[in-house]
Structures are given as structure tokens and as C-alpha cells.
Chains A and B, each alone.
Chain A
Amino acid sequence: MSLRHTLALAGAIGLAAGSAQAQLTNNEIKIGILSDMSSLYTDLAGAGSVLAARMAVEDFGAAAKGLKVEFVSADHQNKADVGSNIARQWYDRDGVDVIVDVPNSAVALAVNTVTREKNKVFLVSGAASSALTGAQCSPNTIHWTYDTWVLANGTGNAIVKTGGDSWFFLTADYAFGHQLEADTEAVVVKNGGKVLGKVRHPLNNQDFSSFLLQAQASKAKIIGLANAGGDTINSIKQASEFGIVKGGQNLAGLLVFLTDIKALGLPTAQGLIFTETYYWDANDASRAFAKRFSEQAPRNNYPTMIHAGVYSSVLHYLKAVEAAGTDDGTKVIAKMKELPTDDPLFGKGTIRADGRKIHSAMLVEVKKPSESKGPRDLHKIRAVIPADQAFRPIDQGDCPLVAKK
């Protein structure tokens, strides 16, 4: 056979293979889980997020439907440049269709830009910055689990209304901390409270004593912790050492995860109020998920809301790919926004034009040691914030995708 014939035959085979499946590049869906695999956010996202994505693919029944799904995962080291390089390499060279998770808002904002440029899909579960559905919203991104606005609104409102009207912020000095601080300050001021001061600390800080001392000197009633993961753990622990709460000031953990409370222990963390969108012990479905998750998770950890969000977002993504018959970035996202969401963890919900996934949120309080029935029994739900009030109204985010009225 001549070379020309061989080539023609190879081309024909290629075409035939291509048309056998829906229009998927490489005939498969490749999910990239980009997370913090080695530092302060590892426990609340990390390997647990990889597991959650796998569980979603399993529950979708991808294999039975003839859909081939592959996974890759990587450590972004909490650096925006590392994160966007990995994203670029995944999209350009490795055929990744969708990136999920990405705790750390600075990295997420970078990946947001790369994803839009390459017309792929970005499902944010780990990052918090409300800018992802605000000024920097994109037709290729959906912000799934929570954002700084939800946290500010849920926790800030509840605290100001119960008398915590003067605040001092302890803020992680990067995109996430700044946004969380700004969103919370807006809520505090709107409710008639005032902000007496703020101090910015470096990400992944060990010693918070000097910052806490400044907070103490401010005489603010509430010390708002606009940080996360290891930083929140160390600030709460050292605040207790410096007798902050005994001195009459209260802490507001603006972003706190189940794993943080577990690491602190109830004697130190009790009474802390914060907002989350998933708690494992909320209902039967969430309990069943948590049990299945912990059987396979590292150190049998229970899922955080970030893990739940990864599961839920991947599940809905696969439904949309199936319905749209393509893995083209903007088309899948459009389909995701068109289909109502429904899963055991967040219930029925919708996705707005600005990329914001809408569901209810919960205001929770950390139990006293005497109230806890087991090592995972850590929160009690104080109030449920209904879906229509939990998130920032669509016309207030300055998202260019939303037509101004």
C-alpha cells in the first residue's frame, strides 16, 4: 500500500472513531483537579477534592453510559503563576476539558482568565472571592459552593444584629482576604456598625500574637478573621491563649471549615459562629455522602463544603455534557445554566447568568464539648439562609455578562 493510501485510511479511521461518540475532544472527558496538595489548605480541599470528583463520576454512571472520564491532579502551591502554568499546560498539551476546585482566590482568578482564553470550563469550589462572579465573571466559569459575599452576609449580619457592632479585621494579605474583608465591612456598615481597624498578615503565618495584640488594643467588640485554613486555626488558638474572648471581645471566623474545628478541638473552638453551605450532619443524604466519603478519604476525614461542592459541580457538569453532546467550553456552561441543578448534597438549585450557583446556606455554631456526641459531631445549625437571600443579588455584582437594567 502506498503512503498516500495509508494516510487516507488512517484519516478515515480517525473520522469514524470521532463520530462514534458525541463531539468530545479525544473522545473523553478529562477532569483536572487543581488544589493545594501540600500546604495550609490541603485538608479542606486537596486529596479529598480528587476523591469527591471520582465519586461524582461514579454516581453519574459514566462507565455505563459509555463516557470515558480521566482525571489529573496537581499542586498549585498557592502561587498564581504556578497555577496558571499548570492550567495552560493541561489545556494545551494534556487535553483537559475542565478544571475543578482551586482553593486560593489568587490562583482561581488566574485560572479563570486562562480558562476563558482557551474556551474550557472552570468549576470553582475551593476559592472564595466574589469577584469570580462580579467584575471578573466569565462565560466559562461557574462559582459553585460559596463566596465571600455569602460568608460576609451570613456571619456579618447575624453578629451585627446581636450587638457586635464594632469590628477589627485580621486579614490574610492576598485577593481572598481583601475581598472577604471588603464584603464583610460593607455588611457591617450597612447594618449601622463600624470598623475600628484592620491588620493584614502574610499568608501561612505562624505567629499571630502581635496582630492579636493590636486587635485587643482597638477595643473592638468583634475581631473578624478574614483568613482560612491553617491561618484561622492559629489565630483562634492564639486568641484563646491571649485571653481575648475572656476579655470580652468575640471572634468572628468568617471562613471556617469542619477540618479547622476538628484540628482546634471543641474546648478552644466552642461557641464560634460562621456560615457554610454544607454540613455532613444536616440530613440523611448528606450523612450518607459523608459516610461513603470518609471510608475512602485520607485519615477517614469527613467532607468539607468544598468537597461537597466538587462532587456536586462535577455531577452537574457531566449531566450538561451528556445533554449538550459536546465538551466545548461555553456551550457546556450554557447548558449547565439552562438545566436546573439537583443533587443529594445541595438539593435543587439553579445557576445564574453571572456563573453563580444558587442554593441555601447555614449559619452554624460550634458545639460545646458537652453537647458533642462524637469526634465528628461539631456544629449545630442555628439558622438556614434561604437560597434567594444567601447570595449577592445579580444586579449588584457588576458582572459584564449581565445586562444592566
Chain B
Amino acid sequence: MEIFGVPTQALFGQLLIGLVNGSFYALLSLGLAVISGLLNIINFTHGAQYMMGAFVSFLLLNKLGIGYWWSLLVVPLLVGATGMVIERTMLSRLYKLDHLYGLLLTFGLALIIQGLFRNEFGSSGQPYRIPPELAGGQNLGFMFLPNYRAWVIVASFFVCLATWYVIERTKLGAYLRAAIENPQLVQAFGINVPRMITLTYGSGVGLAALAGVMAAPIYQVSPQMGADLIIVVFAVVVIGGMGSILGAILTGFGLGVMEGLTKVFYPEASNRRVDRRRRRPGT
């Protein structure tokens, strides 16, 4: 059976692959949507923080022998902490200024971080093995689905759901949203707003790092792994409606699927989904 000249078998395979890629987009956009929606910071360091997540888990494994499962927990905390330092020492000074300054600062930081990692580890990247529990794969008839990729879909789905729940349905999320709406008033109720903002930025960064840990076994852990992704993820956040958590999640998955389909019908265009003037490598 064929649809538009493409065997259905290939089509289903690509849809599933699209879903896997979509989970990464969703996970990354989620962190970005939290930061841009709630804090009004345009966080261009997000791609670099995703890369840091992958590198920190690589270093934990090779220097300290800490494996994948612990990395999922530890790395977001570590990288999130560096994010909080950045927020406290630099970003917090820019809130009164135009958004552009935050954008320039975070973009500069991203270049510096990528440069430092390239200098230290080279551009070819480092290998990270798939954890033995998730090695191998399932033959679904129409395709071979590696277990690890299936895990990525499931894990990403639950992380997205949890984040959405915390922000939209809990008291903490309500405080947070109120603090963004009217910081003075919320502060008057005795809530430490600056600390809350720092923690929110930290968790947004932590989400990027978590995506990095999940990406490490699939992609080569290399300094420029986040540089290209950031443009896609920004597009996702904008399409999803700046700051809408649910919008970012849905768009992320949707974009992954769309990209998968493009790769079947017109592969050359697969990296030109959203923006015609996308960065080429090295810029």
C-alpha cells in the first residue's frame, strides 16, 4: 500500500521517528517557554545549557563512574545551579532594561561556553554508550525501534506533563504566575520574589540539561550539538505562543512529526522547516 508514492511502512516509521525528535523539541522548548513566558528573558544560552547537560553526564560517567540513571537526577541540578549563578550575577541586573540586552548577554554566553568546550574536547565529540538496560530494540514489523528511543518518548511525555501540572495546577505555580503579573503585590504578601525567579530560571535550565542527558546516548556529545537546535526550539516556543507551556509541548511534538514527513517527501528541505534563513554550521 502506498500514500503519495511512499510505502505506508516507511510513513509509519518516519512518523514514529518524528515523535522521538518531537520529544526532544518539546523538552527543550518547555524549559525555554518557562523562562521566556514567566521571566521574560530570551534565553539564548539554552542550546549551550543542553550541551552542558550532555557533557556533564559524559564527565560524570568517565571521571566519577556515575552512570546514566543517576545522571538524569544529578545533572539537571548541577547545570541548573550554574544557571542560577548566571541569573543572580548577570541576568538580574538587566530586568529593568530592554529585552534586547538579555538576548545579547545570553547569546554571548552561549558562544563563550561553546568555545570553551570546543577548546577542551574538540569538535568530533565524545561517545556515550546507551545504558545496558535500554540497549537493543523492538521489531515493530514496519520498523526497528531502538528501546532507548521509545524510552525518550515516554520520559519526555511525563516530564512535560509534570512541568505543566506544577505551573498550571499547584499553589507554587500560582504564586509564580502571580509574581510575574504583579511582583510588588506578591512581595507585599511576604513571598520572596527574586528568589522565586532565580529558582524558576534554574529549573528552566535544568530542563535543558535533562534533555542533554537524554540526548547524550543518541547523538555524539559535541560542543556544537545545541547550536543549531536553539533556532528550531525558538521557533517552537514562538509558534506555541510565547510562554504557553501547553503550546510549546504540542508544537514541539508536532514539529518533530512534520520534520519526519519532510524527510520522506523532500529530504533536502528537512532543516528548513520553519525559518528560511537558518544558521549554517559555524556561524
Nearest-CB residue, chain A, relative to B126:
A263
B99 → chain A, closest Cβ, in Å?
A: 27
The docked-state distance in angstroms from the alpha carbon of A298 to that of B223 is 15
* Chain B residues within an 8 Å CB radius of A241: 130, 137, 146, 148-149, 218
Evaluate contact between A230 and B123: CB separation under 8 angstroms. yes
Q: Which residues in chain A, 241-267, are within 8 Å of chain B measured between CB atoms?
A: 241-243, 247, 259-260, 262-265, 267
Residue A211 lies at the interface, judged by CB distance under 8 Å to chain B: yes
A77, A210, A217, A247: which contacts B282 (Cβ < 8 A)?
A77
Known: A39-B282, A211-B267, A238-B218. A263 touches B124 (CB 8 A): yes
Evaluate contact between A199 and B267: CB separation under 8 angstroms. yes
Evaluate contact between A203 and B281: CB separation under 8 angstroms. yes
Evaluate contact between B282 and A38: CB separation under 8 angstroms. yes
Interface core residue of B10, B125, B136 (most chain A CB under 10 Å):
B125
Q: Which residues in chain B, 72-106, are within 8 Å of chain A measured between CB atoms?
A: none
B12 → chain A, closest Cβ, in Å?
A: 10
Known: A39-B224, A207-B21, A210-B263. A242 touches B144 (CB 8 A): yes
* Chain B residues within an 8 Å CB radius of A265: 127
Digitize B178-222: 1 where CB-to-A-CB distance is under 8 Å, 0 elsewhere.
Answer: 000000000000000000000000000000000000000011101
Nearest-CB residue, chain B, relative to A261:
B124
The docked-state distance in angstroms from the alpha carbon of A187 to that of B263 is 28
Evaluate contact between B146 and A243: CB separation under 8 angstroms. yes
Evaluate contact between A216 and B124: CB separation under 8 angstroms. no
The docked-state distance in angstroms from the alpha carbon of A78 to that of B10 is 32
Known: A38-B118, A78-B282, A298-B122. A263 touches B127 (CB 8 A): yes
* Chain A residues within an 8 Å CB radius of B119: 298
Evaluate contact between B220 and A234: CB separation under 8 angstroms. yes
The docked-state distance in angstroms from the alpha carbon of A13 to that of B228 is 55
Residue A43 lies at the interface, judged by CB distance under 8 Å to chain B: yes
Known: A36-B282, A77-B281. A217 touches B13 (CB 8 A): yes
Nearest-CB residue, chain A, relative to B266:
A200
The docked-state distance in angstroms from the alpha carbon of A210 to that of B144 is 12
Evaluate contact between B124 and A213: CB separation under 8 angstroms. no
* Chain B residues within an 8 Å CB radius of A268: 127
The docked-state distance in angstroms from the alpha carbon of A211 to that of B267 is 8
B145 → chain A, closest Cβ, in Å?
A: 9
Evaluate contact between A260 and B124: CB separation under 8 angstroms. yes
Residue B275 lies at the interface, judged by CB distance under 8 Å to chain A: no
Known: A202-B271, A301-B122. A264 touches B10 (CB 8 A): no
Residue A315 lies at the interface, judged by CB distance under 8 Å to chain B: no
Digitize B102-122: 1 where CB-to-A-CB distance is under 8 Å, 0 elsewhere.
Answer: 000000000000010011111
Q: Which residues in chain A, 73-102, are within 8 Å of chain B measured between CB atoms?
A: 75, 77-79
The docked-state distance in angstroms from the alpha carbon of A351 to that of B168 is 71
Interface size on B, residues (CB 8 A): 48
Evaluate contact between B137 and A262: CB separation under 8 angstroms. no
A206, A229, A267: which contacts B228 (Cβ < 8 A)?
A206
Digitize A224-239: 1 where CB-to-B-CB distance is under 8 Å, 0 elsewhere.
Answer: 0000011001100110
Evaluate contact between B124 and A201: CB separation under 8 angstroms. no
Known: A211-B267, A241-B146. A234 touches B118 (CB 8 A): no
Evaluate contact between A43 and B146: CB separation under 8 angstroms. no
The docked-state distance in angstroms from the alpha carbon of A258 to that of B281 is 22
Residue B229 lies at the interface, judged by CB distance under 8 Å to chain A: yes
Residue B14 lies at the interface, judged by CB distance under 8 Å to chain A: yes
Digitize A342-360: 1 where CB-to-B-CB distance is under 8 Å, 0 elsewhere.
Answer: 0000000000000000000
Nearest-CB residue, chain B, relative to A44:
B124
The docked-state distance in angstroms from the alpha carbon of A298 to that of B149 is 35
Interface core residue of A39, A41, A229, A267 (most chain B CB under 10 Å):
A39
* Chain A residues within an 8 Å CB radius of B146: 241-243
Residue A204 lies at the interface, judged by CB distance under 8 Å to chain B: yes
Evaluate contact between A233 and B220: CB separation under 8 angstroms. yes
* Chain B residues within an 8 Å CB radius of A209: 17, 20-21, 149
* Chain B residues within an 8 Å CB radius of A299: 120-122
A303 → chain B, closest Cβ, in Å?
A: 14
Nearest-CB residue, chain A, relative to B256:
A207
Evaluate contact between B124 and A230: CB separation under 8 angstroms. yes
* Chain A residues within an 8 Å CB radius of B280: 77-79, 203-204
Nearest-CB residue, chain A, relative to B24:
A207
Residue A42 lies at the interface, judged by CB distance under 8 Å to chain B: yes
Evaluate contact between B130 and A43: CB separation under 8 angstroms. no
Residue B260 lies at the interface, judged by CB distance under 8 Å to chain A: yes
The 6 lowest CB-CB distance pairs between A and B, nearest first, are A263-B124, A204-B281, A42-B123, A39-B282, A77-B282, A210-B263
A and B contact pairs by CB, cutoff 8 A, 6 listed:
A36-B282, A42-B122, A209-B21, A209-B149, A210-B17, A268-B127
* Besides A77-B283, A214-B264, A242-B137, 9 new A-B residue pairs in contact (Cβ under 8 A), listed by A number: A38-B224, A39-B224, A40-B281, A205-B271, A210-B17, A210-B263, A229-B123, A229-B124, A241-B218
- A residues touching B (Cβ–Cβ < 8 Å)? 36, 38-44, 46, 75, 77-79, 173, 199-207, 209-211, 213-214, 216-217, 229-230, 233-234, 237-238, 241-243, 247, 259-260, 262-265, 267-268, 298-299, 301
